[in-house]
Amino acid sequence: MIDIHRQLSSLKYFAIESVSKCIPPPPPGCNDAIKDDAHIHTSKVLFAAEKINNLLTLPTRFTEHTPFIICMITVASIAQLSACQYIFKEPRLSLERDKIRLNMGVLKMMGEVWTSGSREYQAMGIIAREILSIQDDEVQVPELAAVVPVDAMDFNYDFDVNWGCDSFASINALDFTADMITI
């Protein structure tokens, strides 16, 4: 969700992100123009990053996760770094930086089990130092960078799905199992 929406959001890409093997290259021209609906995509990126942070605070052993979570943490952290640079102001800025530190700690712990965790921990350190060292006068805040609070967004989608599977309702259950046995 982060990869899909970030290119349409007001969260800019940085050249230093190429240090990480988990981060795909940015689409061409993604930093050039901010679209009218960028605030919606920005909210979705930050919502997904928040969900990953919530996942990391659950009481579980990190060795029970797959190494794929290393890339999920890295992608979420980079999006949060961009938001720290372009969107968040105090007091939320401090909170988001703490979440990035949490992500870095998890990557460091996963580095004890998987080499990719150690590699991404080092890459994230380089990326975070570079992004957060950008001076305020170098930051260009887009005019349409307003973020809709996640609490204000309605994520209750109403899908018209027939969970009863009417197409199978006419099949006799005994005939179906008999067919399955003969196969």
Tell me the residue range of the domain where 144 lies. 2-155
In terms of Cβ atoms closer than 10 Å to its own Cβ (0-12, 13-18, 19+), residue 36 is: exposed
Q: Confirm whether 32 is domain-assigned.
A: yes
Residue 161 domain-assigned (yes or no): no
Residue 162 lies in a domain: no
Label residue 17 by pLDDT band (50, 70, 90): confident
The Cα 141–Cα 10 span in angstroms is: 9
71-127: pLDDT as tens digits: 999 999 999 998 988 888 888 888 888 899 999 999 998 898 889 999 999 999 999
d(CA 67, CA 142): 35
Name the domain count of the chain: 1
| 169 assigned to some structural domain | no
Q: Is residue 164, in this structure, part of any structural domain at all?
A: no
Q: The pTM is what?
A: 0.68
